[in-house]
Amino acid sequence: MESRFPFTSFPNGWFRVAYSDELPVNKVQPLHYFGQDLVLFRSEDGVAHVMDAHLLDSRGAEEQRSRGEKTISVILQRQGSNKIAPKAQVKPWDVREVNGLILVWYHAQKELPTWEIPELAEYNSSEWTPFQLVGKWKIRSHIQEINENAVDTAHLQFIHQVYSAQAVAFEQDGAILRWLCHTKDKLTSDTGAIAEVINELKFTYYGLGYVLQHFYPGAPFQPGVMFRQEFINFNFSTPIDQDYVETHQLTSFKKPVNQIYTSKLESQMLEILTIESEKDIPILENKIYRNSPLLCNGDGPIMQYRRWASQFYTCQTLTKVLTTK
Ligand SMILES: [Fe+2]
């Protein structure tokens, strides 16, 4: 079946494949991402490893050796063999553990990582609630399309019931993209008075697999209004195969003084975030990708985003992406 998108489903970068607390020492876990079977395990020294689940055929092993790639041979070593045939060796993936995540580096041409995911100051901070899973979804879409959602300011008004949204800043720094927009809500207080509140949404993309969103409310908390709380959303997307992407969303709230209120707020906000996230899914699964969409004022920096995203594709898939300029 022909792809819905004019570029590969597997852009280069860092992608979440598991959570650190799910992988104790000696646990072995099968994975399926990037259209292939993988094995995740944690060795006695506490280090997480990801490897291809199946040995290469003799031709593939020879190609790896000819490129001088480092290989390991865990499977046969675990069976007590001390003489490992070169053809029975497999190459480990580059793995990082940061912010409670196990991430792998995918590169279509097997090149080494050129940038890293930084530690997040709010992770494990006493001033923030522990990150909780909002939801995880298997979406029939492309990872670039899923992340384009955030720069599509117009849809915030019509899909997510924001009163209005406005682009403020779009800055790119290599693999990092910082995107700032303001949204306006009209709130009704207990007395019936209507107040306009401006919120700030600050997104930081680290490639296409890891997106951080800070939400800063523009007004102090008002009883009955659940959005008056600063929070952080983590959005992780990892290609499963040519057609599907696995997306996880986690959230953490800045703690107010009243802990009881925090718990109530968290449960209500988790429900709201789940509802809002799931509104996008049927659109993502059915929309058509157009190289040159008819954009209007207020649509957001969609073409700038696409040009930034084009750096994550290898040359054989770049030609069509560049036509979007
Ligand atoms: Fe959305």
Give distance in angstroms: CA of 173 to centre of ligand 1. 24
Question: If one looks up domain 132-316 in CATH, what number appears?
Answer: 3.90.380.10
More confident residue, 53 or 145: 145
SS3 at position 28: strand
Position 227 confidence tier, pLDDT thresholds 50, 70, 90: low
Position 87 confidence tier, pLDDT thresholds 50, 70, 90: low
Q: What is the pTM of this model?
A: 0.85
Cβ–Cβ < 8 Å for 205, 117: no
Give distance in angstroms: CA of 75 to centre of ligand 1. 44
Segment 154-189, tens digit of pLDDT: 888 889 878 888 889 999 999 999 999 998 877 766
Cβ–Cβ < 8 Å for 233, 123: no
**The two structure tokens encoding residue 150:** 């955030």
Q: Give the burial class of 200: count Cβ atoms within 10 A of its Cβ; 0-12 exposed, 13-18 middle, 19 or more buried.
A: middle
Give distance in angstroms: CA of 141 to centre of ligand 1. 14
Kindly report the CATH class assigned to 13-106.
Answer: mainly beta
Question: Which pLDDT value is given to residue 325?
Answer: 38
Give distance in angstroms: CA of 154 to centre of ligand 1. 10
Give distance in angstroms: CA of 153 to centre of ligand 1. 9
Question: Which pLDDT value is given to residue 39?
Answer: 93
Position 228 confidence tier, pLDDT thresholds 50, 70, 90: low
CA-CA-CA-CA dihedral for 60, 61, 62, 68, to nearest 10: 110
Give me the residue spans of the domains in the chain: 13-106, 132-316
Q: How many whole angstroms separate alpha carbon 321 and alpha carbon 114?
A: 22
Please report, as a single letter, which amino acid is at residue 222.
Q
Cβ–Cβ < 8 Å for 253, 151: no
With CA atoms as reference, report the closest residue to 11 among 321, 309, 210, 292. Answer: 309
Position 15 confidence tier, pLDDT thresholds 50, 70, 90: very high
**The two structure tokens encoding residue 67:** 């490129």
Among 135-144, 174-183, 309-318, which is the least confidently predicted range? 309-318
Q: How many whole angstroms separate alpha carbon 237 and alpha carbon 245?
A: 6
More confident residue, 205 or 325: 205
Among 16-20, 71-75, 248-252, which is the least confidently predicted range? 71-75
Give distance in angstroms: CA of 156 to centre of ligand 1. 6
Cβ–Cβ < 8 Å for 98, 80: no
More confident residue, 91 or 61: 91
**The two structure tokens encoding residue 264:** 């109530």
Sheet holding 194-206, edge to edge: 132-139, 245-253, 231-239, 210-216, 194-206, 176-188, 164-173
Give distance in angstroms: CA of 264 to centre of ligand 1. 24
Give distance in angstroms: CA of 131 to centre of ligand 1. 21
Residue 249's CB is within 10 A of a number of other CB atoms, namely 21
Q: Across the chain, what does the average pLDDT equal?
A: 84
Q: Which residue, chain included where needed, has tokens 């079977």?
A: 37
Question: Which pLDDT value is given to residue 316?
Answer: 53
Give distance in angstroms: CA of 250 to centre of ligand 1. 16
Residue 92's CB is within 10 A of a number of other CB atoms, namely 15
Listed in sequence order, the residues at least 6 apart from 256 whose beta carbon sits closer than 8 Å to its beta carbon are 221, 229, 262, 265
